[in-house]
Structure 1
Amino acid sequence: MSRQSRRTGTFIVTREHKRFVEFANTVRRNATMGLCHGRAGVGKTLSARRYAHWDLIEPLVTEWGKREDSDAKVYAASARARTLFYTAPISGSLSALRKDIQPFITRLSICIDSHERPEWTGHYSKPLGPIELVIVDEAERLTMSGLEFLRDQFDRSDAGLILIGMPGIKKRMSQYPQLYSRIGFVHEYPPLSKDEMQFVLQRQWKKLGFGQDDADFTDARAAAAIIRLTAGNFRLLQRLFMQIERIARINEIAAITEDVVEAAAQTLVIGNAN
Structure 2
Amino acid sequence: MRTTKAPRRAEAFIVTKEHRRFMEFANVVRKERYIGLCYGAAGVGKTQSARRYAHWQSVEPLLTRWGPRDEADKKIYATLARSRVLFFTPDVRANFGALRHQIDDLLGRINVCIDQHTGKTARTLPWDYVELVVLDEAERLNTAALEYLRDLFDRNDIGLILIGMPGIEKRMSRYPQLYSRVGFAHHYRPLLGDELSFVLARHWQKLGLQLDGADFTDAQAIASIARITGGNFRLLRRLFLQIERVLRVNDLTVITDDVVNAARSTLVIGVS
TM-score by length of 1: 0.93
Instruction: Report the equivalent of 1:53.
Output: 55
How many residues align structurally? 269
For the Cα contact (< 8 Å) 2:95–2:141, is it kept in 1? yes
Q: Percent identity?
A: 58
Instruction: Report the equivalent of 1:266.
Output: 265
- 1:8–1:241 CA distance, 2 compared to 1 (3 A): farther
Once residues 21 and 52 of structure 1 are traced to their aligned partners in structure 2, the CA distance between those partners, rounded to angstroms, is 10
Once residues 197 and 35 of structure 2 are traced to their aligned partners in structure 1, the CA distance between those partners, rounded to angstroms, is 34
Shift of 1:110: 1.8
For the Cα contact (< 8 Å) 2:115–2:121, is it kept in 1? no
C-alpha RMSD of the superposition: 1.7
Q: Which residue type is aligned with residue 191 of structure 1?
A: P
Q: Which residue type is aligned with residue 73 of structure 2?
A: D
Instruction: Report the equivalent of 2:75.
Output: 73
For the Cα contact (< 8 Å) 1:128–1:153, is it kept in 2? no
| SS across alignment from 1:253 | coil
Q: How is 1:196-235 mapped onto 2 (pairs within 5 angstroms)?
A: 196-235=195-234
Shift of 1:8: 5.5
For the Cα contact (< 8 Å) 1:36–1:187, is it kept in 2? yes
Shift of 1:198: 0.5
Once residues 241 and 163 of structure 1 are traced to their aligned partners in structure 2, the CA distance between those partners, rounded to angstroms, is 30
- 1:252–1:79 CA distance, 2 compared to 1 (3 A): farther
| SS across alignment from 2:12 | coil
| SS across alignment from 2:189 | coil
Q: How is 1:130-141 mapped onto 2 (pairs within 5 angstroms)?
A: 130-141=129-140
Query: For each residue in 1:87-138, what CA deviation from the matched residue of structure 2 results, as whole angstroms up to 9, or x when unmatched?
Result: 02101211221222221111112222222x23x222442x433001000000
| SS across alignment from 1:35 | strand
Q: How is 1:19-38 mapped onto 2 (pairs within 5 angstroms)?
A: 19-38=21-40
Q: Which residue type is aligned with residue 46 of structure 1?
A: Q
- Establish whether residue 121 from structure 1 lines up as the match of residue 121 from structure 2: yes
Instruction: Report the equivalent of 1:104.
Output: 106
Query: For each residue in 1:37-85, what CA deviation from the matched residue of structure 2 results, as whole angstroms up to 9, or x when unmatched?
Result: 1111111111000000111111110010000111112112111211111
For the Cα contact (< 8 Å) 1:5–1:55, is it kept in 2? no
Once residues 52 and 76 of structure 1 are traced to their aligned partners in structure 2, the CA distance between those partners, rounded to angstroms, is 13
1:9 pairs, out of 1, 8, 11, with 11
User: Any unmatched runs of 5+ in structure 1?
Assistant: none
| SS across alignment from 1:96 | helix
Once residues 8 and 221 of structure 1 are traced to their aligned partners in structure 2, the CA distance between those partners, rounded to angstroms, is 29
Q: Which residue type is aligned with residue 198 of structure 2?
A: F
| SS across alignment from 1:4 | coil
Once residues 93 and 19 of structure 2 are traced to their aligned partners in structure 1, the CA distance between those partners, rounded to angstroms, is 29
